Each structure stands twice: as structure tokens, then as C-alpha cells.
Amino acid sequence: MKRVACRMPLTLKTMLRQAVADDGYGGKGKSLWVREALTQLFEHDPDLMNVGVGDDLEVNDAEDAFFLSMENGLAIDAAVEVIRSQYPRAEGIQSAIVRAAVRYRLRGRGKK
């Protein structure tokens, strides 16, 4: 497991913590919830069209940390390379990917 810190809006951090609790993941389940969110994002959005969407509309005024699996870490590294090849000056790509995964999963929670 690899610890990853992510800057995000306080509202997103609050919504994440509420979703983790509502979904029954318990106090230590936040990282598992985020790992599953990353898997969903990479499976359903392989072109990473959701990464960076809306990032310029909110201030990343909070930080959260997660423990990611080696597989998640490798997938994020590959995604960073893809995005950096398209946008060489992009910064904070890893956090943008995590934010996109959290938002993607939060949007899908109502659809079952």
C-alpha cells in the first residue's frame, strides 16, 4: 500500500466522508472506497475525460490522504503520463485523478 495525499475542496472531502459512512465502509474504509472509485473511473472512463472537469471552479482548500494498492498506483502513474503527454504543463495531476474518481463514484451512487 502506498499513502497518497490529495488536495480537494472541503465540500468534496465532506461528501466523501459521508458517502463512506452511508455505504457502510466504517471508520477505516475510506481508502478502500477510494480504491474502488479509482477502479470504476479507469474502467468506465479509460480516456480520462472526467479528470480535471470542474477543477477550476472550486478551490482545493482541504487535504485528505488515502492508502492505494500497487495496482491503483500503477494505473495512476500511467494516467499521469497520458495526461502529461497531452498537457505538458499540467500540475497536480495525481490529485486531479483522485478527485475525478471520487466525483465519478459520488455521481453514480444514486444509480442502482
Do 30 and 75 form a contact (C-beta atoms < 8 A)? no
| pLDDT score recorded for residue 60 | 92
Q: What is the DSSP letter of 1?
A: -
The pTM for the full model equals: 0.90
- Which strand (E) or helix (H) includes residue 18? helix 10-22
Q: CA-CA distance, 7 to 63, in Å (whole number)?
A: 4
pLDDT in tens, 60-95: 999 999 999 999 999 999 999 999 998 898 889 999
